[in-house]
Amino acid sequence: MTMAAPGGVHKLEMNIDGHGERIRWLPAISPGPADLDGRVTHHAMMAWGGQNSKEDKFLVITDLEVVSRGQTVLRVDEEMVKAFPHEGKMTDLHICEQGGGVVNVLFGTTEGTLHLLRLLLPRTPGALPKDVRVLKPPGLGQLPELDAGASEDLAVWLRPHRGAVAAVDMQQDTKKILTAGADGSLFVLEMEKVAAAVSSANAANAMDADDDDGTAMDTMDTGEQHRGRPNNASGSGAVPQELRPYKAGTGCIGYTCARWVDRNRFVTSQSLGGLEMWDVRCPPEPVMRSKEWGAVGLGSAERGSHRAICSLQVHFARPDVCASGGLAGSVALWDLRAASKPMSLTQPDIAAGPVWEVHFDTRESAQSSSGQQAPLPSVLYCTEDGGLFHVSAAEGPGARGPQVLTQLPVAINSFDIGGPFGTDVAAVTDRQTLMFMQTA
């Protein structure tokens, strides 16, 4: 179903079986040349996670064939490329380019597991989704090609947490993986060391399985299930030192979000609210935390559990700026260089429900035309009551209020900005729909 969006931009809602939890654009494949009528065909792929009507969980690779003339979208067709079944509900999804066309697709689940899918995207202009290859994950066996007719489980890569994985993020330069759990633990992992540990554990499990019933495990856990056993016990699941938590959790207070700031620092939010800054070069204690950072500080509605942060993003070009979305419908900007109170972009709105995702507006430059640093960036965010909004920080709090980009009768669970023109929105909802919207 196609409909007009605010400002006359293109908007499309596509039916899916079940509902989506997280969605991310994959890096764009360059389109081929325009035809004689000036039409260009883009193959814009995305990865999203959800569950179908039978409550089976999948990671889905979807292709949007977007036909355009200039910046005007003429037609959008959707096709599922591949669905990978997995255990546990997806809680966070991250895409990181490795270089040379290799893309890491990482996601965590409610089962405390971390999954890794590695794709090799073609760099030839006009390439098709069938040209995408699935690479061998470090430490695991070969996965099948992108064939929609087959359906193979996506094996667990690692089981770092005893509870749900609240957040997963990969640092673009170092490729270190950050995970935060509802159990209150934090992990900072190097892919090569994880791969070596997974391979070693799988080999040990295979040997034990040969001695038992011939069944080999395809995953490695952090050894929490085997506490009390000696570290050298065969097949005990004991963890090498490099895979132990950066910070062990007590299980009393968990994390809700975690994002890398730069090569060494990352920021987290706890279930009680507020932010904490960490530096992997220092002992596992926050390097910045204050009374002001201990609460979102956006009014009376933020008291108690309402001050919890549901979503977090660090600016792609200004790592000193962070945006957060609250449980009570509030959006704020934080200065990560100082423990100051956040700047309110929206007032708390309990009726709107939680802000499930925040993204900085990629249409804005990090610098002004005069070469000076641009004003505070604008933010896009989605809410439980089905709203997708744009709010400008440059105008000051409450100047005009949020601009409604679209309003659906059901929750928007996740969205991302990217796609064929770099500023398009892809979103998943609770209404068995996947949405594409041109915002430029």
Which of 160-164, 240-244, 428-432 comes out lowest in average pLDDT?
A: 240-244
User: Residue 421 gets which letter from DSSP?
Assistant: T
Pick 369 or 436 by higher pLDDT. 436
Contacts of 301 (CB under 8 A, 6+ apart): 328, 330, 348, 349, 350
* Averaged pLDDT, 74-101: 92
| Side-by-side strand order, sheet with 40-51 | 19-25, 40-51, 57-69, 72-86
Rounded to a whole number of angstroms, the distance between the first and last alpha carbons of the chain is 20
Torsions phi, psi for 79 (to 5 deg):
-145, 130
**pLDDT score recorded for residue 211:** 55
DSSP track, 295-331: S--S-GGGSGGGG-EEEEEE-SS-TTEEEEEETTS-E
Distance in angstroms (rounded) separating the CA atoms of residues 22 and 73: 25
* Averaged pLDDT, 115-120: 93
Kindly tell me if the per-residue pLDDT of 42 is higher than 90: yes
Give burial (CB, 10 Å; 0-12/13-18/19+) of 217. Answer: middle
Torsions phi, psi for 76 (to 5 deg):
-135, 125
Torsions phi, psi for 427 (to 5 deg):
-145, 155
* Averaged pLDDT, 308-319: 92
- Give tens-digit pLDDT for 217-248: 344 455 444 333 333 322 333 345 567 899 99
CA atoms within 13 Å, Cβ hemisphere of 203: 7
* Averaged pLDDT, 311-331: 91
CA atoms within 13 Å, Cβ hemisphere of 17: 11
Pick 103 or 340 by higher pLDDT. 103
Find tokens 């050298």 and name the residue: 232
Distance in angstroms (rounded) separating the CA atoms of residues 19 and 352: 20
**Among residues of the chain, what percentage have pLDDT more than 90?**
49
**pLDDT score recorded for residue 399:** 55
Options 2.130.10.10, 1.10.3720.10, 1.10.10.10, 3.30.365.10; which CATH number does 272-407 get?
A: 2.130.10.10
**pLDDT score recorded for residue 396:** 53
* pLDDT range class, residue 72, cuts 50, 70, 90: confident
The stretches of 91-182 forming alpha helices (DSSP H) are none
- Residue/partner pairs of 364-368 with CB below 8 Å, 24 or more apart: 366/315, 366/317, 366/318
**Among residues of the chain, what percentage have pLDDT more than 70?**
77
**pLDDT score recorded for residue 297:** 42
For residues 397 and 7, is the Cβ–Cβ distance under 8 A? no
Which of 23-32, 37-46, 218-227, 409-418 comes out lowest in average pLDDT?
A: 218-227
Q: How far is CA 22 from CA 14, 83, 103, 120, 414, in A?
A: 16, 14, 17, 21, 5
DSSP track, 171-224: -TTT-EEEEEETTS-EEEEEHHHHHHHHHHHHHHHHHHHHHTTS------B-SG
